[in-house]
Structure 1
Amino acid sequence: MAELPNPRFIAHFDLDSFFVSVERLKDSSLIGKPVIVGGSTDRGVVAACSYETRVFGVHSAMPIKQARKLCPQAIGVRGDFESYSHYSRLVTSIIRERVPVLEKASIDEFYMDLTGMDRFFGCSQFTKELKQTVVKETGLPISYALASNKLISKIATNEVKPDGQIEVKHGEERQFLAPLKIERMPGIGEKTAVSIRKMGIFTLKELSEANPALMELRFGKGGFDLIRRANGIDDSPVVPYSERKSISTENTFESDTLNVEFLQSELVRMTEKIAFQLRQQKKLSGCVTVKIRYADFSTETKQTIISYTAADHVILTTVKELFRKSYNPNLQVRLIGVKLSHLLQGEYQMDLFSEKTENMKLYEAMDKIRNRFGEKSVLRASGLNKL
């Protein structure tokens, strides 16, 4: 008789108000007070805010000027992405050492596939103890949910924040989802929610019982998926997190060169190219590598850890510094390369903690032009030099 497959156990960990929590670790006077992270002037956007601030209607991506009107007593913090990167890596290392399969969904969000571990440890107790370990070793508050799939675990985690924990047992998925508003489901944005409400559907129970033909008429094939998800069905796997994934580019020259200005312009062009690819994939990089191969085929490679980013100007500063440390002006260069690794999937496409929003708007505008007319349609002047 064939053995039945193990029931899935998927845990979702979310660091509560992560950026604010890190700032509070650095400055205990911020504990219990309304805090806005994102800039010390009114020109930026809210990158994060404390739960004490959210009750006034403040939320991420809101202009700080508007946030200050809603909550004038909030304390503004410019933000320290280097610290956030450090704590994100610390939490990652703690979890990765203890679970069989880890997916790092963003800088402060993790999925774990614990399937099969219930036979040996008991997934409920294991997940509870893992949370306690993370809190003890980092000082960061965390919420989590244990369920049969990623969708349920994510929704459940959001329902018990802050500093909460819950287990949605197998077979209870629909019962758990039923009373929740449709906006609680990931993937249902404001516009989609308006369309669904116009159909007289306001809860996930009502969505789970919706007429498939009408849903297909309104949303196409995606309508069936909405019904499936409202019934708690999600087969998506936990994708193992690996810092080996990278984006890179190399250029072998037709003739070896000593022209340092040309080499530097090539580095600019190459960095712009892969940083654009990084943003297109909605990822950040936490490590930069520069490779130089000389005419005698000797190769010099240097890399350094950086704060997670996808901004050209930030990465380019590191690339130039690594090149300066690696380059031997007495040897002709055959090849140069740039690689971005330690990639992290996330919503933060650039450093949101800059006081200026101009850089963000500039990148958005350039990327739109590149998407329409090609990668080479917008380039820095310093990347146009030729041999």
Structure 2
Amino acid sequence: MEAFFGAWAGPAIGLMDLDAFFASVEQLDHPAWRGKPVIVGGLPEERGVVSTASYEARPFGVRSAMPSAQAKRLCPHAIWTRGHFDRYREMSARVMSIIADETPFIDQVSIDEAFFDVTPGRFAAESPIAIVERIARRVSELGITCSIGLGSNKTVAKIASERDKPRGLTVVPPGTEAAFLAPLPVRAMSGIGKAAEAALHKAGIRTLGALADAPLERLKPIFGTNAALVRNRAAGREISPVRALDDPDDVKSVSNERTFAHDLTAREDVYAALSLLGESVGRRLRRRGIAGRTVTVKVRYSYGNGHTAQRTLPHPTDDENLFVATAKELVDTLWQPGTPVRLLGIGVSDFRRDEGVQTDLFCEVDERGAVASDRRDLSVAMDRVRERFGSSAVSFGRAQRFERDLVRPDKFLNQNKPTP
């Protein structure tokens, strides 16, 4: 199996869909709710609508977009919550960061769903199946789960992601797209709603295989100028490139943040956390070929309050050995040792390309005018190893200690409702 995927030929597009995302985050943050039906949405007495239902609620017939009053009749013992969208956005950003560690080619289509391109040779030479398995594993370490479909285009990946939920991984190897799609009902393909489905049924077309074989003259009254496109999608012949996450000319900032399983109180632990976060930021800057001047640090305390601080450097850089040092100085202006830290973040922005760069004796300037330390070559070498063998293939001892002792996402159990 692995040997086959190691020889994957052609595009490899994945679709990651977080399982019952809002409800899963609520169960993560409220351990007593785990294993119980949880409904996120407007309250029944306020004529609300269900946003997300946990998998424990779904056997009772509860579904997204269902009137809350109906959901309460179906599952009267469910736990209800309006939701905490700042928290969902925070978790979504962490998931997207995991994907960005594997590939810069990402199309995020919603807070809980994203396409990504792991075509061998486009960014990494690794087997697509190994990459998606690693993404799924790292997402589960956050305390939530995802389902992933992998195929040669977005249509196949999307349908595959829905075949085995939750915690599913469905792979459609190159050359098997038509066979995979053919027996499925036409409604399985995104873009075909109730009206189009009814029109297709009236025309005697009920499966994607029949849709793929239908003459265009039969499809044009239903899909108009899009008839050929729809037919190609049904046949698995769609060509759907995934653009880079950020165009270097448009990106405004590159950042990373993390919420900790246990509050950090010691300076050496906070510094270790900043170093680990900074490695990821530096890698992404170098991947995009950009360097920034402004360093931002974010600190959130265990009781919910938080602060940020910024400093503009005299020169742009993509070297974490430089900007993390500044981040450590900034964090000392926001925080005193002993104060519990729940979240830390570090970001780099301000990607202007000015003339003239102020340097010092320990830095050198590259062709972009960016400044780097004498340790940047080591960072670049580590980038190459991670690109070839995965993001966890090599790390500094401080990062390993930090991951092992300080950040344990599988133990991330907030007893209280998170404060936005």
TM-score for both structures, normalised by structure 1: 0.59
Mapping 1:1-387, distance limit 5 Å? 7-43=10-46, 44-117=48-121, 120-136=125-141, 138-242=142-246
Residue deviations 1:200-256, cap 9 Å, x none? 22111121122221111333122222211110122122133339569xxxxxxxxxx
- How many Å apart are 1:126 and its aligned residue? 2.0
Question: How far, CA to CA, are the matches of 2:67 and 2:147 in structure 1?
Answer: 27
- How many angstroms does 1:70 deviate by? 2.5
Distance 1:17 1:183 in 2: 21
Give a deviation string over 1:108-161, Cα, whole Å, max 9, x none: 11211111249732111122122112212x111111121111110111001111
Deviation sequence 1:160-198 (CA, Å, 0-9, x none): 111110210000001111111111100111121111111
Asked whether the 8 Å contact 1:20–1:37 carries over to 2, the reply is yes
Q: Quickly say closer, same or farther: Cα 1:195–1:98, change in 2 above 3 A.
A: same
CA drift of 1:199 comes to: 1.4
Q: Structure 1 residues 99 and 65, CA, compared in 2 at 3 Å: closer, same or farther?
A: same
Match of residue 373 from structure 1: none
Give the whole-Å Cα distance in 2 for the aligned partners of 1:70 and 1:191.
28
Structure 1 residue matching 2:15: 3-state secondary structure: strand
Q: Is the 8 A contact 1:48 1:59 kept in 2?
A: yes
CA RMSD of aligned residues (A): 2.7
CA distance in 2, matches of 1:101, 1:219: 30
Cα distance in 2 for residues equivalent to 1:205 and 1:6:
24
Letter in 2 for 1:84: Y
- Which amino acid in 1 is paired with 2:154? K
* Contact residue 15 and residue 113 of structure 2 kept, 8 A: yes
Structure 2 unaligned spans of 5+: 1-7, 253-295, 299-420
What stretches of structure 1 move > 4 A for 4+ residues in a row? 243-246
Q: 1:126 to 1:304 in 2, by over 3 A?
A: closer
Instruction: State the alpha-carbon separation in 1 of the partners of residues 194 and 76 from structure 2.
Output: 27
Matched residues in 2 for 1:51 and 1:61: separation? 15
Counterpart CA distance in 2 for 1:32 and 1:179 is 34
Mapped to 2, the partners of 1:36 and 1:223 lie a distance apart of: 39
Alignment deviations for residues 242-280 of structure 1 (CA, whole Å, 9 cap, x no partner): 39569xxxxxxxxxxxxxxxxxxxxxxxxxxxxxxxxxx
Q: Separation in 2 of the partners of 1:222 and 1:234?
A: 13
Q: Secondary structure at the match of 2:102?
A: coil
- 8 Å CA contact 1:208–1:230 kept in 2: the answer is yes
Conserved in 2, the CA contact under 8 Å of 1:56 and 1:71?
yes
Distance 2:157 2:226 in 1: 21
Do the aligned residues in 1 keep the contact of 2:104 with 2:244 (CA within 8 Å)?
Answer: no
Identity of aligned residues (%): 39
Distance in 1, matches of 2:121 and 2:53, equals 36
Could you tell me which runs of 5 or more consecutive residues in structure 1 were left unpaired when the two chains were aligned.
247-302, 306-387
**How many residue pairs align between the two structures?**
246
C-alpha distance in 2 between matches for 1:210 and 1:71: 43
Normalised TM-score (structure 2): 0.54
**CA 155–304 in structure 1, closer or farther in 2 if over 3 Å, else same:** farther
Distance in 2 (CA, whole Å) between partners of 1:110 and 1:8 is 16
Structure 1: distance between partners of 2:205 and 2:115: 30
Give me the whole-angstrom Cα distance separating, in 1, the residues matched to 2:56 and 2:185. 23
Which amino acid is the alignment partner of residue 101 of structure 2? E
Amino acid of the residue matched to residue 237 of structure 1? P
Helix, strand or coil for the counterpart of 2:150? strand
The separation in 1 between residues aligned to 2:139 and 2:222, in whole angstroms, is 44
Q: Distance in 1 between the 2:62 and 2:149 partners? A: 26
SS in 1 for 2:163: helix
Residues 225 and 179 of structure 1: CA distance in aligned 2, closer, same or farther (over 3 Å):
same
